[in-house]
Amino acid sequence: MHGTRILEEADRLMTVCNSCRYCEGLCAVFPAMEMRRSFSDGDLNYLANLCHACGACYTDCQFSPPHEFNVNVPKTLAVARAESWAAYAWPRAFSSLFARNGLAISLIAASSVAAFIFGFAALTDHKVLVGIHTGPGAFYALMPHNAMAALFGVAFLYAMTALAMGVRAFWRDIGEPVGMRVEPASLWQAIKDAGQLRYLDGGGVGCFNEDERPTDHRKVYHHLTFYGFLLCFAATSVATLYHYFLGREAPYTWWDLPVVLGTLGGFGLLVGPAGLLAEKFRRDPALVDEKRTGMDVAFIVMLFLTSLTGIALLLLRDTAAMGPLLALHLGVVFALFITLPYGKFVHGFYRYVALVRYARERRMMGLS
Residue 105 touches ligand SF4, criterion: CB under 6 A: no
Residue 182 touches ligand SF4, criterion: CB under 6 A: no
Residue 48 touches ligand SF4, criterion: CB under 6 A: no
Q: Which is nearer to ligand SF4, 61 or 142 (CB)?
A: 61
Q: Is 46 exposed, middle or buried (0-12, 13-18, 19+ CB in 10 A)?
A: buried
**Nearest approach, Cβ of residue 55 and ligand SF4 (Å):** 5
Distance of alpha carbon 313 from alpha carbon 327, whole angstroms: 10
Residue 74 touches ligand SF4, criterion: CB under 6 A: yes
Residues in 196-235 that interact with ligand SF4 by CB under 6 A? 199
Among 27, 174, 231, 322, binds ligand SF4 (CB under 6 A): 27
Residue 53 touches ligand SF4, criterion: CB under 6 A: yes
Among 71, 97, 274, 302, binds ligand SF4 (CB under 6 A): 71
Residue 354 touches ligand SF4, criterion: CB under 6 A: no
Phi-psi label, residue 203: left if phi above 0, alpha if psi -120 to 50, beta otherwise: left
Residue 277 touches ligand SF4, criterion: CB under 6 A: no
**Nearest approach, Cβ of residue 19 and ligand SF4 (Å):** 8
Q: Which is nearer to ligand SF4, 23 or 190 (CB)?
A: 23
Residue 288 touches ligand SF4, criterion: CB under 6 A: no
Q: Which is nearer to ligand SF4, 58 or 345 (CB)?
A: 58
Picking from 24, 2, 11, 51, the residue whose alpha carbon sits closest to that of residue 351 is: 51
CA angle 304, 275, 227 (to 5 degrees): 65
Q: Which is nearer to ligand SF4, 30 or 139 (CB)?
A: 30
Among 6, 7, 73, 322, binds ligand SF4 (CB under 6 A): 73
Distance of alpha carbon 148 from alpha carbon 154, whole angstroms: 10
Among 3, 8, 22, 130, binds ligand SF4 (CB under 6 A): 22
Q: Which is nearer to ligand SF4, 23 or 302 (CB)?
A: 23
Residue 6 touches ligand SF4, criterion: CB under 6 A: no
List CB contacts of 354: < 8 A, sequence separation 6 or more. 46, 49, 50, 174
My answer on whether omega of the bond before 66 falls inside 30° of 0, hence cis, is yes
Q: Which residues bind ligand SF4 (CB under 6 A)?
A: 16-17, 20-23, 26-27, 29, 51-57, 60-63, 71, 73-74, 77, 199
